[in-house]
Structure 1
Amino acid sequence: MQEPALATNRVNLKLLQTFLLVAENNSFREAADLVSRSQSAVSTQIKQLEEQVGVALFHRTTRKVKLTAEGLQLLDNARRAVNEIELGLRNLREVADMKRGRVALACAPTLAATRLPRILAAFEKEYSGVKIVLQELKSSELFQSVRSGDVDFGIGPVVGDGDFEFEPIIAEAIHALVPRQYIRTKQSEITLAQLAELPIIQFHAATVMAQLVAEAARTHGLVLNTRYQCIQGQTLVALAEAGLGATILTGSVARTARSDTVQKMLIVEPTITQHFGIVRMRGNMLSPAAARLVELIRSMTREDAGISAPKRRRPKIINKTE
């Protein structure tokens, strides 16, 4: 003899969703308005559900709707079931997005030329189906790109702007590349006052980096002899290697110098630090692919974060004519 089908085999998700709407709003009319259906259609669905489960789920009066004891029990179970189904569907969508998604990001040149390439290479190796669109932008353009929604997020300097959410990921100590013609011995540090005695090459005055340096100089009563202002870190390095002056730049860019004509030196008295982070519009949610890339950026930059300062020694600065 064939056993009768269980009620759970006959109950569909649509009936449970209608039940949840009526139960959570205590009203057939409000539930009907939410799904743009007639009240009688909603009432019919509830009757179908009650017939299938074999118990009454609501006490009905002319003024209000109230759950029965069995209805209360089903409410708790139905919520968990619908949440599990929605979570499963969301996970499936995220898997699909990771296979064929698209991520647009903007990055400051300082990081785009140093830390970002290996991160993108690692991401593309793991998620080859995701299309990456990269814009290398100076800070003002980067913030505008994030604000306008042209990119999912940016990687740039952390500034005080309430429109954005900043997640700091790395702090870069500011260094100088000093041509050896200005320094007699190999040294690891140089004070800002000593740099003020040399011709200076640095990032353009409108950049966050230049503003940090300018503020430090003002605070210590110093005036820098800036000869050249550039946008690209590679240009700063090349000009220093040509002996045109001492370049002020982040440690990661300073490490790209290959010529033995310059010395990389940590700027002290004061030390200057530039903070970089993930930049998003406040309240914006990232797609699964973008969120995974942010996670990878976070973990891979953390590997480089702990750089200890070298032992302090002051170099002897000489004039170019010596």
Structure 2
Amino acid sequence: MDIIGNINMKVLQTFLVVAEEGSFRSAAEKLHRSHSAVSAQIMQIEAQLGVALFERTTRSVKLTSEGAHLRDSTRKAFYEIHLGLRRIREENDAKRGQLSLACSSHMASIHLPPVLTEFVRTYPGIAVTVRELTSKDLYEALRQKEVDFAVGPEDQDEAFDFTTIMVEPLQALVPHHFLDGPRDSITLAELSQLPMLVQTQATAVRRMLDAAMRAKGLDLPTRYQFIQAETIMAMAEAGLGVAVQPATRLAKANLKATVILDITEPTITRSMALITLRNQRLSPAAQNLADKIVDDVRSTTGFVAEGLE
């Protein structure tokens, strides 16, 4: 018997919704079906496969190991089907369609606005969804195929392909009252002696700062922790402590009570990149936007990739 040929796509869709909701009742509400109809479909696919996909209790349902495997495979299969259908529709006209991208808050606020403005003006038929995420969540959204591509910090991960867009240093935003006199730089060791305003470890800047401190045998004083970079900069401007942020973000700030200092011993730089799943083929609409982001940001920041000099 051909098991695969006998499994209905609607049954797989029902299974996936139950797996993601963790509840037959919630899945039934989401699918606008009765609880009994959803239960019957799950029992049908379990009978066809000859395995239990869920561990059922009176309060909840939990995936078995076989169920988790089917969930992951089904999620990928539906993504590929939807992507294939979308590509067929868009193949002859790259000026139509929809796309989604994940972007770090830094890129979204500093570099993306003029790029998106021009892109939407050129391609009014393309609907663009932007998800502003921390680097950790950004990678996960891309890994789960929730977005077409991402723009964020470059990392070492064999699951992704990285196209470097820009490289910039991290700088320190220091209130004047922490300094004895005018200067243009500060060492990492000196920073470790000041009250630091840091972001959560879900952000690339925080992880880079932690790694640099550890490499020098220094402790990072984390008395104050915030989520948004704008909040950290405002706290530094109020005199609460020292903030470390990318140079292009600090260059846009309106500062009076603080000074921007280069960080030395060592300098800390980060690379921002276009990030795609390895060997992924983007839709025509997504490829158009991805190419524009790379070209425009490289042009405005003066970055030249190796081999393009």
The amino acid of 1:96's aligned partner reads D
- C-alpha contact (below 8 Å) 2:171/2:244 kept by paired residues: yes
Alignment match, 2:166: 170
Alignment match, 1:20: none
Q: Percent identity?
A: 36
SS in structure 1 opposite 2:142? helix
The amino acid of 2:246's aligned partner reads T
- 1:223, CA displacement in angstroms? 1.4
The amino acid of 2:161's aligned partner reads E
Alignment match, 2:73: none
Alignment match, 2:140: 144
Alignment match, 1:254: 250
Confirm whether residue 223 of structure 1 aligns to residue 219 of structure 2. yes
Alignment match, 1:112: 108
Alignment match, 2:93: 96
C-alpha distance in 1, partners of 2:141/2:180?
46
- 1:110, CA displacement in angstroms? 1.7
Confirm whether residue 186 of structure 1 aligns to residue 163 of structure 2. no
- C-alpha contact (below 8 Å) 1:186/1:263 kept by paired residues: no
TM-score normalised per structure 1: 0.64
Alignment match, 1:236: 232
Confirm whether residue 270 of structure 1 aligns to residue 266 of structure 2. yes
SS in structure 2 opposite 1:264? strand
Distance 1:186 1:95, change over 3 A: farther
Which of 94, 118, 123 is equivalent to 1:122?
A: 118
The amino acid of 2:172's aligned partner reads A
Aligned residues: 217
Following TM superposition, the consecutive aligned residue runs of length 4 or more in structure 1 with deviations greater than 6 angstroms are none
- 1:114, CA displacement in angstroms? 1.1
The amino acid of 2:113's aligned partner reads P
SS in structure 1 opposite 2:267? coil
The amino acid of 1:163's aligned partner reads A
- 1:121, CA displacement in angstroms? 1.0
- C-alpha contact (below 8 Å) 2:172/2:244 kept by paired residues: yes
- 1:211, CA displacement in angstroms? 1.6
Q: Which has the larger radius of gyration?
A: 1
Show the 5 A alignment for 1:1-322: 94=91, 96-98=93-95, 100-306=96-302
- 1:93, CA displacement in angstroms? 5.1
Q: Which runs of 5+ in 1 are unaligned?
A: 1-89, 308-322
- 1:95, CA displacement in angstroms? 5.5
Query: Aligned Cα RMSD in Å?
Result: 2.0
C-alpha distance in 1, partners of 2:207/2:90?
44
- C-alpha contact (below 8 Å) 1:202/1:226 kept by paired residues: yes
